[in-house]
Structure 1
Amino acid sequence: MLCAIPIEIAMRELDGMLHLSLHLAARGLPTLLGERMVNRYVLSSGKPVIYFDSDQDVSVNEAVLAAGGEVVNLNPEGLNQWDRAEIVDNHLRILPCVSRICAWGEHQARLMRSRMPSDKAGLVTVTGYPSFDLANRRFLPYYRDESLVRLHGEDYILINTSFTCNHVMGFEHYIAMLGRMKEWRIYKDEQFITFKRRAAEYQRRLLEPFALLARHLATRFPGRHVIIRPHPVENMDFYRERTSDLPNVFVDRSGSVRNWIATAQAVIHHDCTTGLEALLMGKPLIQYRPIFDAELAAPIVSGLGEPAETQEAVADIIAGLQPGALVTPPGGLLAPYFANLERSAAWSIAEIASGYAADGRETWAPQPLGAWEAIKCWRKYVSKLIRARQPGRNGRKVRYALAKFPRLPVAEVQNRISRLAAIQPELPPVSVTRLALNTYLVRPAA
């Protein structure tokens, strides 16, 4: 059977899904992956696929099942959501139209099962999430970016922020947009929205301290670069306006956060999943908490790293680090949340897929778009580029959409796969075909 993997945010999902595609290829399965055209191919074909659902779209899942396919839910959203029952209940709307739900760890699986009818509990399987297979010291060479080293050295200090209150569209417009999306109807729930507004107000009290921390570190370590890397949804101008007079402070979110983590000497966060990634990759992690509210800070990740309450305490920790120092992740603390720590998530999920494919259903390969369809696809993309130049909120909204999945040449996909294969030579060679803009077919090499 053909496997189909839609990707919403390339920086968050692409590497892990390419890794999964290699494991699927090891079992003889081709993979269609990429942006919006994945669903177009799946829905227009009427043929069976193993569809990796990532946004709980009931209508798509129902169409896949009606065509004789299977739906494997593989949710990419952050770890932080899994301690809130409202989010889990929203997620579980897909129960009538899903073949399997892949949980990141035993903790998440228990929470989901507790919110499900007992006869549905068997749908949940603990696999881990493929992206976190790569958050490992073994893959540091994969993420090493020599262009970052040339610009910033290997002793830079990385500050990762994840403050939704600083959303590039404006917080209220952002939650209103989510409330209009059928898969996020929870954003119409007043109790949930009240909590999100309280959390946003808590975050607003952290914004200025984080900007001031960058200034303090730049002054304490004038020979080193301080990088502020905001979450993809954040307004970078907030940080730029407060640090533009300091030549060794850079506000930059280009590329994958793991590229930045791989060559940083230390990583600072408050309650960001990237702090977890840094810890798994062996980087010294500091949890800066000028204020702290355990109810409003993101659960689980807000307890990771060496805590520091003042700017000077952060600076002292950094001053005591040895060049190139690596740390050992606290496996006992993280194991309930990440099955990846015990086995490869990509391997586990590929095993599930191969079981579905073993019953002899058709394996088919989609073809590249014809000339007219390709022109329409590119015209839509160019239209977005033009509209992104608009001033005000409309332009920001389009730029936000474009940033989710920037144009990705097929050569870059091939390069990433080659670098993954160099670290895992036991995985099979594959061929990569571009079918449409940001849409690719990965299959075992002939």
Structure 2
Amino acid sequence: MKPFLIIPVENQVRELDAKLLVAVLAAQEGWTSIIGAKWCIHQRIGRFPPSIYIAKSLTERGMKMLHIIRRIGHYIIAWDEEAVAHYAPDIYYARRVAKDAFDLIDLLVAWGEDNRDLFYGHPACRREAVRVLGNPRADILRPEMRQLFQDRVDELQREHGNFILFNTNFNHVNGYHDTLNLLYLNNGEWVRGHWSLGMPDEFARGLFHYKRVVFEAFQALIPAVARAFPDRRIVLRPHPSENHDFWRTLLAEYPNVVVRHEGNVVPWLMACDCLIQCGCTTAVEGFLLGTRIVSFTPVEDPRHELRLPNELGTRCRTADEVIAAIRDPDPDLDPGGARRRLVGRFIHGFDNGLASARLIKLLPSHSPYASFARIPLRLSGIIKAELRTINRRRKQRSGSPRHSVEYNRQRFPRLEVSALQEHAERLRKISGAPRPVEVRYRHEDIFEVRARE
């Protein structure tokens, strides 16, 4: 049976457009892609023939699943979704690279030279497996791809006018549930939560303190901006894993402030007057789109600050400085071209074709782990996958916040086949791919994308 290209999506608003583009371009080469919610694909991972699987990270918490995926016979391609903005190498390795990750990954995709050097610096890295390709998420920011979002941009500007956009990334201290934070209170004691996994204890506690200070500063900043610009709409987009209700409650008294999370951030970045952020990769996307960026950095903390995003905008320490930057009628978005050169080291080939197309050229025609001799190992992998699914469902019934239906739905809202079909065809036409594609429903939150017969 012909292998599939299996493309799981964890955070729909952040990942779906780019990964659907991969599926559309792969269809041009005869591939059928399986795309959908990561947790749903994992529940059925043993029911696919040995195929090509694209992983979004190399973290310790994902290794159990990757071991199962390899046993089943899938060839594994991986990139780190969060590698563009990262901490110092020792912290990056502890947080984002499991000790046996390099043994499981057949093809490791680097966003750029910075990411490549990070991988190379790890003592277990197999350099021959690393390819510097860029990333599909950067593809949809290219000038020719932006028309994909133009209708939505026009809608947002009609609805919100010349709006100011805040993007937050406080999932470490304002998580969907307290136990998902870096630290949380348990019987009066601060204990480590889900997001501290892999971090040295001193760093986790320091990062928690830093994020809390910035989080509290944003809670004061947004009302100050709302008061300074009473006739303008302020839109807050929280991180997909944040507690969105916190912001809705905090900002309810300000009639010109709305909290929105739906859809990809790209049209919001294209439509807004300026983006206000701190250490958020959205600033990198905004810079490549030509968005005016204000980096609110109320404290100096080089060890815990994600510097790249903040270097791409006007740095401000106080609310008054932010308000003045918003009012600046003619800011220099890239003094001397330095910011563009900086980003070029982190994102490869942005001006030289699609990273998705470069990736597809490297796909093997079949999984090398599909031999008859591996059938017993495959069967053991299938059994492990089914047992994992049973365990996950048990945790869901027990009320585990990280496995709850509500948390999953916040990160991956329901999709209709018709909407996905329309979106896939728009991606195909804009990218110039010649063969029409067809999207088919396969299972709840799982779809097939193939060339139309």
TM-score normalised according to structure 1 size: 0.81
Contiguous gaps of at least 5 residues in structure 2: 185-192, 372-388
Determine if the alignment matches structure 1 residue 127 to structure 2 residue 136.
no
- Residues in 1 aligned to 2:50 and 2:342: alpha-carbon distance in whole angstroms: 40
Q: 2:356 aligns with which of 342, 346, 359?
A: 346
Shift of 1:25: 1.5
1:227 matched to 2:235: yes
SS of residue paired to 2:52: strand
Do the aligned partners of 2:28 and 2:451 also contact (CA within 8 Å) in 1?
yes
- Indicate the SS of the match to 2:202: helix
Equivalent position to 1:167, from 175, 187, 206 = 175
2: CA distance between counterparts of 1:207 and 1:126? 35
| 1:275-424 equivalence runs, <5 A | 275-321=283-329, 330-343=339-352, 344-353=354-363, 355-357=364-366, 398-424=405-431
- What residue identity is the alignment partner of 1:351? K
Distance in structure 2 (CA, Å) of the matches to 1:114 and 1:157: 40
Is residue 44 of structure 1 aligned with residue 53 of structure 2?
no
One-letter code of the match for 2:75? E
Cα RMSD over matched residues?
A: 3.4
Change (3 A) 1:174 1:111: same
Q: Residue in 2 aligned with 1:138?
A: 144
Task: For 1:133 and 1:266, locate their aligned partners in 2 and report how far apart those are by CA, in whole Å.
Answer: 22
Measured after TM superposition, the shift of residue 352 of structure 1 is 0.8
**Alpha-carbon distance between aligned partners in 1 of 2:111 and 2:282, rounded to the nearest angstrom:** 16
Identity level (%): 24
1:340–1:53 distance in 2 versus 1, CA, 3 Å: same
Q: In structure 1, how many angstroms separate the alpha carbons of the residues matched to 2:247 and 2:67?
A: 44
Query: Structure 2 CA distance, aligned partners of 1:395 and 1:38?
Result: 17
The CA deviation string for residues 32-72 of structure 1, in whole angstroms up to 9 with x for no partner, is: 11123433444234x22111123444455445545554211
Name the counterpart of 2:112: 105
1:279 Cα deviation after fit: 1.0
Residue 94 (structure 2) pairs with residue 94 (structure 1): no
Partner of 2:205: 197
Per the alignment, do residues 91 and 337 of structure 1 end up closer, same or farther by CA in structure 2, a change over 3 Å counting?
Answer: farther
| Alignment gaps of 5+ in structure 1 | 178-183, 363-376
- Cα pair distance change 1:313/1:86, threshold 3 Å: closer
Question: What SS does the corresponding residue of 2:439 show, helix, strand or coil?
Answer: strand
* d(CA) in 2 for partners of 1:92, 1:103: 18
TM-score computed with the length of structure 2 as normaliser? 0.80
| 8 A Cα contact 2:87 2:304, kept in partner | no
Supply the AA of the counterpart residue of 2:268: W
98 and 173 in structure 1: CA distance in 2 versus 1, 3 angstrom threshold: closer
Superposed CA deviations along residues 242-282 of structure 1, whole A, max 9, x for unmatched, are 43222111122222222321211111111111111111111
Inter-partner Cα distance in structure 1 for 2:46 and 2:203: 37
Cα distance in 2 for partners of 1:68, 1:315 equals 55
| 2:268 counterpart residue number | 260
Residue 273 (structure 1) aligned with residue 281 (structure 2): yes
Distance (Å, rounded) in 2 between the aligned partners of 1:243 and 1:193:
33
2:132 corresponds to which letter in structure 1? V
Q: Distance in 1 between matches of 2:284 and 2:402?
A: 32
Which amino acid in 1 is paired with 2:41? V
Q: Please state whether the residue corresponding to 2:432 is helix, strand or coil.
A: coil
The 1:33/1:413 distance shift into structure 2, 3 A limit, reads: same
Write out per-residue CA displacement over residues 166-219 of structure 1, whole angstroms, 9 at most, x where no aligned residue.
Answer: 22312x544489xxxxxx999455x62331221121121122322332222222
| Alignment check: 8 A CA contact 1:103 1:128 kept | yes
Residue in 2 aligned with 1:440?
447
The one-letter amino acid paired with 1:303 is E
Shift, 1:131, TM fit: 1.1
SS in 1 for 2:415: coil
Contact 1:24 1:30 in 2 (8 A): yes
For 1:329 and 1:415, the matched residues in 2 are separated by 39
CA distance in 2 between partners of 1:329 and 1:31 (Å): 39
